[in-house]
Structure 1
Amino acid sequence: MWELKDIIMNIGFLDVLDILIVAYISYRLYMLIKETRAEQLIKGILVLVVATKLSELLQLHVLSWILKNTMTVGVIALLIVFQPELRRALEYIGRTKFIDKSFMGLENEQDVSAAIEEIGEAAFSLSRQKIGALIVMERETGLNEIIQTGTRIDSVITRQLLINIFIPNTPLHDGALVIRGSRITAAGCFLPLSDNKNISKELGTRHRAGMGISEMSDAIAVIVSEENGAVSVAREGKLRRNLNMEQLVELLEKDLKPEGEAKKIFKKGESGIEKILNKGRSL
């Protein structure tokens, strides 16, 4: 009892700071693995650790030897099994922003607004025609490995081109379109599918691919369903479904524009994004 009291009395500012840092890191790591296969693997590891300690206390020598050697080999196995999660964690650390940057390197507010306008118009035109689409917008994390799986385009962003690419039976319609900066970089790209077991069964490959790319990077995916024309946005492994024009624009404005600039666009009369919103309300 007195030892515990002495420990408490000797806790200093640096000790509290140390505890808070460890607690914050533990929380962020938990949020990274939450609702992924890594969560179940962590539970399995904890069971093995507890079983190892119990076997030592109960002097079950054979079982203790097996478990200890399993844990030793398991360190190497963990690096292999947790490769996607480790990569995701390192990318998350690498994306930490010490200096605020605008969407995809576009420093001009008008450039961002024009890109969002074209994407919004194209998405809801495809939605009305019930044509499936998957548009991925690169942000801080590079998507070169994804771009290399498709066909290079390197074109300015226009609604006409976006719509034409996803017209059924055209060469590039069955795949994802990647936007980098102010240009359409590639189309017909293959994306990793999400391993999330909680995704609704009614969602198909296109939605799973959109969620997959948002889990492995900070990219934003706009998805148009070919079954019902519903427009969705995948971001950070989460899916916002059944968006209208105004909601889509607000989401893109929030994530793609520098903080504090997102609201400026709504003060520009009937041009640009405000025109999109008015069209969305009339649908």
Structure 2
Amino acid sequence: MGAQFERFLEKYISAWYIPEIKVVDIIEIIIISVLVYEIMVWIKNTKAWMLLKGMLVLCAFILVAAIFEMNTILFLASHAIDVLAMAAVVVFQPELRRALEKLGEKNILSSVVPLDKKKESVRFSTETIDGIVRACFEMGKVKTGALIVVERAIKLTEYESTGIRLDCLVSSQVLINIFEHNTPLHDGAIIIRGDRIVSATCYLPLSDNMKLSKDLGTRHRAAVGMSEVSDALIIAVSEETGAVSIAMGGRLERNVRPERLTERLLDVQDRTVERKRLIPWKGRRKDERKTDK
């Protein structure tokens, strides 16, 4: 056993060398480190985390086989890698799609070189914010369940098509009437684009996050799931407790107050502020709000 281990070290370790390090190499290492970190965060928040643990166990087994020169196992492993990689792409196609959507969500080029000068600097008006906040807490008082999706940069057309199309201005009265018990539109989520409600009774993807509290129902899991696949802000009103929660970026903030909900809506209202955040050398605007990490 000792002789086999020594031969393994002589074959693989003795050939190592320390190359000359240049500035470009350091930049390349930083870029790769950031990419690996983002990939690891994505893997941890999806079902791919179980796949990664299985791959680590498999790699450890192959390493042991290489040390003890188990040629048959090494031959089978070398020919199975391509098949396993193809199978992983097929099995985890939804997660890969979400990752690409998140990458497109960054919109770095248009933030550095703004090409959409004709677009408005805000997504929705202050009246819309007031209507959403008032409706959520009015429904919370009487324990009327609600699920409200506030669209941002990523268009939610595919989820909009799962419901009944609407075209009406946002107001507290309209929102309360939509989610009133035993009404045709109360079940499911509504999608708000700008100052208008564009769809109701929409089906949202449920989150697979195992860290979510077990006392959360389908409505809150749908809110978190939607926030995982888009940049939208989702508001959930509990039918059991009347508490208002906010989901964004895969995170759920529970039992918020009206002031906090207003603050979060103001944070996503201003498009100009979001573009500023992606240009660090231009500094922070004086009136820009800090968002939670």
Gaps of 5+ in 2: 1-12, 274-283
The TM-score normalised by the length of structure 2 is 0.81
Distance in 1, Cα, partners of 2:228 & 2:247: 9
Match of 1:51 in 2: 61
213, 217, 224: which one aligns with 2:230: 217
Give the deviation of 1:88 after TM superposition.
Answer: 1.7
The TM-score normalised by the length of structure 1 is 0.84
Q: Is the 8 A contact 2:143 2:241 kept in 1?
A: yes
Distance in 2, Cα, partners of 1:22 & 1:4: 21
Q: Is the 8 A contact 1:48 1:67 kept in 2?
A: no
Q: Residue 86 and residue 142 in structure 1: after superposition, are their counterparts in 2 closer, same or farther (change >3 A)?
A: same
Distance in 2, Cα, partners of 1:221 & 1:77: 33
Q: Residue 139 and residue 109 in structure 1: after superposition, are their counterparts in 2 closer, same or farther (change >3 A)?
A: closer
138, 158, 165: which one aligns with 1:152: 165
Q: Is the 8 A contact 1:88 1:216 kept in 2?
A: yes
Match of 2:102 in 1: 92
Match of 1:11 in 2: 21
Give the deviation of 1:108 after TM superposition.
Answer: 5.2
Give the deviation of 1:30 after TM superposition.
Answer: 1.5
Q: Is the 8 A contact 2:133 2:261 kept in 1?
A: yes
Distance in 2, Cα, partners of 1:111 & 1:139: 10
Q: Residue 4 and residue 46 in structure 1: after superposition, are their counterparts in 2 closer, same or farther (change >3 A)?
A: closer
Give the deviation of 1:63 after TM superposition.
Answer: 2.5
Distance in 1, Cα, partners of 2:104 & 2:75: 40
Q: Is the 8 A contact 1:156 1:182 kept in 2?
A: yes
3-state SS of paired residue (1:229): coil
3-state SS of paired residue (2:192): strand
Percentage of matched positions with identical amino acids: 41
RMSD, aligned α-carbons? 2.6
Moved more, 130-139 or 256-265: 256-265
The number of residues matched between the two structures is 260
Match of 1:116 in 2: 129
Match of 2:37 in 1: 27
74, 79, 84: which one aligns with 1:74: 84
Amino acid at match of 1:58: F
Distance in 1, Cα, partners of 2:261 & 2:40: 29
Distance in 1, Cα, partners of 2:48 & 2:285: 38
195, 208, 212: which one aligns with 2:221: 208
Match of 1:191 in 2: 204
Distance in 1, Cα, partners of 2:33 & 2:199: 42
Moved more, 52-61 or 194-203: 52-61
Q: Residue 110 and residue 48 in structure 1: after superposition, are their counterparts in 2 closer, same or farther (change >3 A)?
A: closer
Q: Is the 8 A contact 1:112 1:257 kept in 2?
A: no
Q: Residue 44 and residue 136 in structure 1: after superposition, are their counterparts in 2 closer, same or farther (change >3 A)?
A: same
Q: Is the 8 A contact 1:106 1:112 kept in 2?
A: no
Match of 2:50 in 1: 40
Give the deviation of 1:73 after TM superposition.
Answer: 0.8
Distance in 2, Cα, partners of 1:143 & 1:249: 22
Give the deviation of 1:106 after TM superposition.
Answer: 7.0
In the alignment, is residue 61 of structure 1 matched against residue 71 of structure 2? yes
In the alignment, is residue 136 of structure 1 matched against residue 149 of structure 2? yes
Match of 1:236 in 2: 249
